[in-house]
Structure 1
């Protein structure tokens, strides 16, 4: 099998390993071209970071033609090949991204078959070419690096298309893992996997380069989002179907509320779970969690999503779940037995959060300081946001990075304490930057050398880009980037590079890694590690500066966007750990309540006053339900008038 991606905007260093794993022996591409990435030969042995090799071939000068006459196309194709190898391919045909040869093309070729001295021309196939290449494999040079730096604007523009694609892929992956790890019978498992396979076809289609790259016209993006949404809801339905069926079949009924945690991943999960157990709108009171051995599980109440007062409750709790494993916690009425406090609780005071070896200090521009074992890893500018002028086209055809002036920097943040330990502390702030709204939070969890940074943006810029620069205390010694199926070592510089899951910079006895499923473009230049988040060129704009103003012209990335970053500090880089953190960040364990066998509601025949429906006051007026006298004045139903 031969891979054929003629217009894809770059290729990761792990691609040879992935192709080899699935039986491919060759790969034909056009981009990056010679001006973007130098290759030792047009035909070469491409070695992946995992050691597998395939034969790569870069098309020259292009994969399409626009005229009947093919003299120039043939001449440039011949000049691109290595004479010692002696073979090349000349692609021709009219169409978008290739197409069919015209009759005029064929007639021209037949009449000029002998017009090129020393060149034999024959109508052939890619498979025939690769037979010749494989026979000469030993003389082909080896390339062992990634083929990147093509149209860097595509790494970040149309953020929501990329984000939904990535989240959808992870969700389908999680659905597959759960279907295999928690199947209750083969028939249901096969049906689930069949539905998941069908959903993958939507995301395989929307991965097409001009779709995922964000360079399509606005109207087509509607269909893209619809297809991505169809795949995501299919994944979500299968996750719910598999997990609830498993609990129903495998867990015996019990008169207690249980919290089921399922980890379908091949890696252990060791982190924190955040969820909202539904207790029929009851007060939390002195409830507590017990593990499988009846021992109390530490937890912390935090702000719930619904703005409904004491009717909903959100908890954060630590959990270790084995690979393809489960945890079953019980939610019990108190009082809870005594349990030891966390050895490294989180503390927050005056804009500083600390836990164990980690200390974070906020400032008016963002994160002012990040100390680990007393050593500040950040420089004077810390971690912040800025708006950079960005007048490049949608693709950024002619540059390899973003170097226009910085226009506006985030400032005047006033941090507010939302949570104050002991398991979790969080600060947040609201501000504007340019014409856009920003909400930012920083969170530290007990026992974790990590900072969770959440960013919400209502983007309203034109010809500007939002970036997150991190100034480091010293220039790093190394830069490693995660890829699909592995990772790659990179060289710092002004070039923008695609980001996939995680990045790590290494210094003297430390590794600082950043993980996110929500950003896709980064660079390391001297002591500044920078992530490009949003861009606002005209959509599907090739750069023509003479366009007349028109209502139909729309700018990219307008509106609501959200990001979740994890900054983690370790003594040394462990790529496997980085990959596992990123995977669990994008597909955390499935958590749900299990009520089978439970008598509900917890309050029996005495609902809290705020839950009284109209029949209860009416019954009391008729002289019934006197057992509720003691709580009759404790609040009111939210639908009742305050009068």
Structure 2
């Protein structure tokens, strides 16, 4: 089919961080937009689209005159606002809550500054499209989406289609052909003409041509504008906005596509694991800070809400598609990304800990004789929580260690002391206080450090030894670049790490800790498996001194499920895949499953696995790669390797649970209860805090702030819900299958 018309879409892709630092990216924002404005003054037919509120915020703060000119061009309809996110996010391993926040913060800025609601989602350089994305786009207020990957050679599919989410949501989607910018080697007009002619001859009936310089910005080459004018005299070219293009194609019949759109760069699921760990931890702290601000705003509630709002806005930038996937240079991670993440985390933990301390000052604590600990459940459903932190076993030198936690009613919870991070401690005593505590929905419990006869039977090591029998640690010779371009999987298996020792570190009624040691060539690692009383999952800590560059290590699980599927968390979605031996992405959890149950892993900052039939599930633990190595250019090695040397990964082993329970269970394991040490201060009469509860408890509440609750039904059937405050129903309804819905209540 030949194109009736070729729509020329002016743009200039600008990576704020990639092979350069943020300072260079910010200067690119300014310099490129100045250049584009000059060209648009000279050529009044030109139109230009630009995404990302972070870019516009920077221009507004640094060059108000330029910002004013852009606003004028927006009003004229020539400068088009697209991609109403803070930045062009990763869209393959980023959580659903983060993608919804991208839309919330980005669209809010565009409404406030331009009076426009951006409807076109735009992440043209992301490395794949998550199965949950169409639902999240529609929930976030987008009904159109532009992307480029996976490309034609990676996935056979229409370039124009309606993308249907698992809840039935439909967005009109468009895949760019070849490039989101003019190619750098087009130095002669014949090259440009040849590409235009090929698009016209082989493209869709209504085709686009993305015109402009990227990835480091630049705008337009003036001579290429003149070439386009010449081409337009004899070819069906139209300088257009994306909105106009979508208006045209939406009048036509389009095929429907469902599910995820992969497979482009599987190496990025695991590259630079440290940034994935730090961002995942910061996301959880920001969500907890929102929840506790809802409960206890206090006199500084407005100021802290503003601080948290600013922290979210900066933090979301770090999910840019060359940051979270691990494909930027080392200096960017060790400077700007570190600082932006740390600033957001500090704001969240300040807000959280301040209110925990206030609870400690007002909750009933007059029964404490030697101090105690306060525990807070951030989830609106009951949880069985692990408390584990380093402190004094015998701070008052009584000659014996505390062995129970005791509440105001005299109920006792067993307390066990594990080995602390440091072998040294003040006054010669130091340990890791460990307990398993049942907390009610949104619950707050205060316990005294105490003594008692609450010890039960030791847990032993049967669960850990059975798990070890099912685990191996295959090592892959990984020849691929940082992205994993062209990789169906991360290389061939060349061997497995050797088990060299197995030690029983601790055994009590609360926890038992088994440590296994392994060696591979010049590398060693320890595998700590901790069983907690009453918790079916095993906690795993993998700590390595990994010395093998370009060798990826996995933990392989013999699942005991020979003919099932692989089921995994996605961006507020659940996806079933047939095992295919390829490296695949997941978010928060992945299991092999059949009608009898599941076996797999819960991991908040690991995102890659492969499977050889459902009987073997292999979680990618560590992928040491050169920073920003891009084939076909061989790395020069000056920047060194990411994830080489001392590396730690933490996750859970889960077996036996029905797959339908895992979204809620994964949230419970990853959104841990918070603790705060306190002394006797109050009779508790001054404390009031609302206690929110969701029913049924297996329905995940992914965000809770102000009067808003984000509910997700991960099941393929409708589910009723009821939301309670202090035992009184505040809202109820029915969620459609797989629906994400925000329930907003009036605030007192």
* TM-score normalised by length of structure 2: 0.69
8 A Cα contact 1:7 1:97, kept in partner: no
Structure 1 Cα separation of the partners of residues 434 and 458 of structure 2: 13
Aligned match for 1:303, one of 419, 437, 446: 419
Q: 1:389 aligns with which of 477, 488, 513?
A: 477
C-alpha spacing 1:109/1:533, structure 2 compared with 1 (3 Å) = same
Instruction: State the SS of the aligned residue for 2:647.
Output: strand
String of CA shifts for 1:538-573, please: whole Å, max 9, x gaps. Answer: 3222234766x66x2512212222112211222522
Change (3 A) 1:286 1:421: closer
Secondary structure in structure 1 of the residue aligned to 2:243: helix
User: Aligned to 1:270, which of 378, 384, 396?
Assistant: 384
d(CA) in 1 for partners of 2:593, 2:634: 46
Tell me the residue number matched to 1:465: 552
Aligned with 1:235: secondary structure? helix
Larger radius of gyration: 1
1:93: how far off?
0.6
Q: What's 2:465 paired with?
A: 361
- Describe how 1:468-617 pairs up with structure 2 within 5 A: 468-526=555-613, 527-544=615-632, 552-574=638-660, 577-597=661-681
Aligned to 1:159: 273
Aligned with 2:221 (options 87, 99, 102): 102
Answer whether contact 1:63 1:97 (CA < 8 A) is retained: no
Aligned to 1:320: 438
- What displacement does 1:276 show? 4.0
Q: 1:8 & 1:277 partners in 2: Cα distance? A: 44
Offset at residue 249 of structure 1 (A): 4.3
Q: Is 2:196 aligned against 1:74?
A: yes
Please state if 1:229 is matched with 2:342.
yes
Q: CA deviation at 1:346?
A: 5.0
Q: Which runs of 5+ in 1 are unaligned?
A: 370-381, 599-643
The structural deviation recorded for 1:114 is 4.1
What is the CA deviation profile of residues 354-409 of structure 1, one whole-angstrom value per residue up to 9, with x for unaligned ones? 3xxxx4426xxxx443xxxxxxxxxxxx3121321112112121222123241x42
d(CA) in 1 for partners of 2:194, 2:437: 65
Three-state SS of the structure 1 residue aligned to 2:553 is strand
Secondary structure of the residue aligned to 1:211 is coil
Give, in whole Å, the separation in 1 of the partners of 2:492 and 2:404: 55
CA shift in 2, pair 1:440/1:246, >3 Å: same
Matched with 1:88 is 207
Equivalent in the alignment of 2:103: none
CA contact (8 A) 1:60 1:80 kept: no
Q: Does 2:538 align with 1:423?
A: no
Of 340, 354, 371, the residue aligned with 1:241 is: 354
Partners of 2:306 and 2:448 lie apart in 1 by 34
Tell me how large the CA RMSD over aligned residues is.
2.6
Within 5 A, what are the aligned runs for 1:190-209?
190-209=302-321
How far apart are the structure 2 equivalents of 1:146 and 1:287? 51
Structure 1: distance between partners of 2:547 and 2:403: 45
Query: Which of 248, 253, 259 pairs up with 2:373?
Result: 259
Uncovered stretches (5+) of structure 2, i.e. residues with no partner: 1-118, 683-748
Cα 1:275–1:161 change in 2 (3 A) is closer
**Which of 170, 181, 187 is matched with 1:53 structurally?**
170
Could you say what secondary structure the match of 1:461 adopts? coil
Distance 1:165 1:78 in 2: 44
Instruction: Note if contact 1:63-1:98 (Cα within 8 Å) is conserved in structure 2.
Output: no
1:111-134 residue CA offsets vs partner (Å, 9 max, x unmatched) = 221423xxx321111111222233
Change (3 A) 1:412 1:495: closer
Task: Specify the alignment match of 2:282 in structure 1.
Answer: 168
- Residue number among 422, 436, 460 corresponding to 2:523 in the alignment: 436
Aligned-residue offset at 1:523: 1.6
Q: Is the 8 A contact 2:165 2:259 kept in 1?
A: yes
Report which stretch shifted further, 54-63 or 528-537: 528-537
Specify whether residues 189 and 513 from structure 1 end up closer, same or farther in structure 2 by C-alpha distance, changes over 3 A only: farther
Distance 2:130 2:403 in 1: 50
Q: For residue 26 of structure 2, what is the aligned residue in structure 1?
A: none
Q: Deviations over 1:453-508 (max 9, x none)?
A: 21101222222112222233342411111012122111211221112110021135
2:131 to 1, 13, 18: 13
How far is the alpha carbon of 1:418 from its aligned partner? 1.2
Shift of 1:225: 2.1
Does structure 1 retain, via aligned residues, the 8 Å contact 2:181–2:214? yes
Tell me by how many angstroms 1:43 deviates. Answer: 1.4
Contact 2:583 2:609 in 1 (8 A): yes
Q: Is contact 1:167-1:586 (8 Å) kept? A: no
Q: Give the distance between the partners of 2:515 and 2:227, measured in 1 at CA.
A: 68
Q: Which residue matches 2:329?
A: 217
Q: 1:218 offset after TM fit, Å?
A: 2.1
CA distance in 1, matches of 2:244, 2:222: 23
Q: Is the 8 A contact 1:387 1:434 kept in 2?
A: no
Distance (whole Å) between structure 2 residues aligned to residue 429 and residue 29 of structure 1:
45
Q: Following TM superposition, by how much is the alpha carbon of 1:9 offset from its aligned partner in structure 2, in angstroms? A: 0.6
Q: Determine the C-alpha separation between the residues in 1 that align with 2:384 and 2:230.
A: 70
Distance 1:545 1:469 in 2: 32
What residue is the counterpart of 1:378 in the other structure? none
Q: Does the 8 Å CA contact 1:346/1:444 hold for their aligned counterparts?
A: no
Question: Partner residue of 1:604?
Answer: none
Residue of structure 1 in register with 2:248 after alignment: 132
Asked if residue 63 in structure 1 is aligned to residue 171 in structure 2, the reply is: no
Name the stretch that deviates more: 272-281 or 458-467. Answer: 272-281
Q: Per-residue deviation at 1:528?
A: 2.0
State the secondary structure of the residue aligned to 1:238.
helix
